[in-house]
Chains A and B, each alone.
Chain A
Amino acid sequence: MKQSTINPSEEYKYGFTTDIESIRAPKGLNEDVIKFISNIKKEPHWMLEWRLRAYSRLKNLKEPNWQKPKYPKIDYQDLYYYSAPKGSENKPKSLDEVDPKLIETYKKLGISLKEQEKLSGVAVDAVFDSVSVATTFKDKLTEKGIIFCPISEAIQKHPDLVKKYIGSVIPITDHYFATLNSAVFTDGSFVYIPEGVRCPMELSTYFRINASETGQFERTLIIADKGSYVSYLEGCTAPMRDENQLHAANVELIALDDAEIKYSTIQNWYPGDENGKGGIYNFVTKRGACRGKNSKISWTQVETGSAITWKYPSCILQGDNSVGEFYSVAITNNYQKADTGTKMIHLGKNTKSKIISKGISGGHGDNTYRGLVRISSKAHNSRNYTQCDSLLMGNKCGAHTVPYIENKNSSSNIEHEATTSKISEEQLFYCNQRGLNQEEAISLIVNGFCKEVLQQLPMEFAVEAQKLVGISLEGSVG
């Protein structure tokens, strides 16, 4: 297997590669490759049909290009769409059967799958390139009727649920990358929380890209049935390479009556080097439907990695009294670019949404907040509050705020506030004079700036996120 990995450095300690034999689909995008994926995943026929419908639709779609960060043309025929460690097709039943190299890889990433099983209160699904290699705490969750498994497994074991909900929030007729994902998605997590159940632990998925020249097409589907609650977190890392790699995910959330989903992301894909070479293109479609009355979906994202981050985790507030939230920290350092925000679509009565966005740019980084708040004519007494703050470090970076506001109901109300500030040399001098070094000073200031978002994260991850925020901005001033 051809590898062109750069040596992992201090700044990005997750940049190593796991040397493991893998199975790949033939290069390129065509019906045969889609059949290959569907076949190796032992999917029922309806799933393949669905994929092929998406693919035929894709042929008539063009990549969007309204976003601020531009990128060189991607040759979709020059990518691998499936890569998995050999042996993982017959998914191991217990952790003891998982290739030790994979266990070791996750351990190096700070996720001890074996310890995990015993110690902490977080269940993990570990996705390595195109397959899920392990899921912990399955038995404990099953006792409560909770399903937490790779989506490939759910397609086989819970076809009715998957069939009912997949594509119901992000249809196969959506935009280019979403439709591409529907055609070639490989793995991701599936969560079903039964009626009235409060999930007793954090669920989390750890995405790892390992193989080169390979796109990762994650698909995640979370369903919270009536009156249930779940908190879910995803984390992501990738090796350091001088090529750009595509991660095009689709995540669909469905909250029924009185249900609540809290979805958190700590995105730390390889960001490229200090000259902007390499890094992940993180082009992701995340959408949640508050389908039932009094339901709630809350997105929290800490986006520190990737060469380009392009995503708008959104909420469709269909149920009366439903609530959508979006808390975001997006950091762009060196030559990283981000165009991120949310869409809050108010359809039901008394729906509420809240958007807190903190963009931080250093080096030559460029950060755009783009957000849509739409209140439909039937969404009486609905409310949105948006706060967008940008923090600049140095003179070469950029911050932009692009809010779209549509209010078709006079009893409803949208509030938008935005600020831009800059970390000055003087502020850093002040902190240094109090004994803090440059990194500590930046970390303190930046963590203060995005505290409101970080405190939304589950406690188990908040401290990690704080450290990550500090590390991502090293060398950002000047």
Chain B
Amino acid sequence: MLDIKSLSASIDGKKILDGFDLKIKPGEVHAIMGPNGSGKSTLANVLTGKNGYEIKGQVFYEGKDLLNLPIEERAQKGLFMAFQYPLEIPGVNTNNFLKTSLNTIRKVRGLKELDSLDFLKLVKTKTKNLKIDEKILNRQLNVGFSGGEKKKNEILQMTILEPKLAILDETDSGLDIDALRIVSDGVNALRSKERSFLIITHYQRLLDYIKPDFVHVLVNGKIAKTGCGELAEELEKVGYERMEIAK
């Protein structure tokens, strides 16, 4: 699914990722943990194609070179990121944004575009399943949304777009227990043999709800340690500093 080989990324001459390697197979759930500023969002941004980074190394997605593709083509090919800080877009209706996005992607995949009615049916079912208040659909995209509403909206978008590889960038941060449950239910409902997840988190808490296949610790721009679920718990106890020393 995804094969990252010796990936380096710098911004304004400052090296953030440095020789990062990671392989994700279809159906796997990988968690990446790391202290603030360790480059977790940078990794997500580089994979999804955000501008402004000097990049070295290689990334293969479904066997093909990913780094030369425009942002929207990566998205159309099934790469999704739930943003750590979802953007507010005034004037753009949330429902309309979601519909435009889904239909653009469906078109590329050779599927029939959904008309307003079919889309409404779909989006109503999904919001209901996720226990998200459907009122957010008629509001301007993320404008005036609470932190929790923004994150739930990201999960709703993921659920509707049905990506092949979903990257969640600290989707759990700042959520209360109810919201955390909605987020993890959303992820768990989407888990399948074909679909992979890269879950970026600062806390072990989320991993109580979403059981990852692998946990990686990101320190100094590369993976310092890889383990299974217990690694997260250990990390919670000893803290990141000790981890750094251990390396």
Please give the residue numbers on chain A whose beta carbons come within 8 Å of chain B beta carbons, in ascending order.
421, 424-427, 429-438, 440, 444-445, 447-451
Contacts and interface: CB of A to CB of B under 8 A. Distances in A.
B49 to A, nearest CB: 7
A437 B89 contact: no
A317 B81 CA distance: 54
Interface residues of B, number: 29
Contacts of A436: 72, 100-101, 104
A433 B166 CA distance: 12
B72 A432 contact: yes
Nearest to B104: A435
A430 B48 CA distance: 10
Contacts of A444: 92, 96-97, 100
A433 B48 contact: yes
Interface of B: 48-51, 70-72, 75-76, 80-81, 83, 86-87, 89-93, 96-97, 100-101, 104-105, 108, 140, 157, 161
Nearest to B45: A429
A42 B108 CA distance: 60
Given A437-B72, A444-B100, A432 B49 contact: yes
Given A444-B97, A449-B91, 15 more contacts: A427-B87, A429-B71, A430-B89, A432-B70, A433-B49, A433-B75, A433-B81, A433-B83, A434-B101, A435-B75, A437-B70, A438-B72, A440-B100, A448-B89, A448-B91
Nearest to A452: B91
A302 to B, nearest CB: 16
Q: Which A-B residue pairs are the 3 nearest by beta carbons? A: A448-B91, A432-B71, A448-B92
Contact of A445 (B70, B86, B91, B101): B91
Interface centre among A448, A449, A451 (most CB of B within 10 A): A448
A430 B86 contact: yes
B90 A449 contact: yes
Nearest to B81: A433
B87 A434 contact: no
B87 A430 contact: yes
Contacts of A432: 49, 70-72, 75
B155 to A, nearest CB: 14
A434 B75 contact: yes
Contact of A433 (B71, B90, B92, B108): B71
B75 A445 contact: no
B11 to A, nearest CB: 14
22 contacts: A424-B87, A426-B87, A429-B50, A429-B87, A432-B70, A432-B75, A433-B49, A433-B81, A434-B101, A435-B72, A435-B75, A435-B76, A435-B101, A435-B105, A437-B70, A444-B100, A445-B89, A448-B91, A448-B93, A448-B96, A449-B91, A450-B91
Given A432-B75, A436-B72, A451 B91 contact: yes
Given A425-B51, A440-B104, A434 B89 contact: no
A430 B83 contact: yes
B108 A435 contact: yes
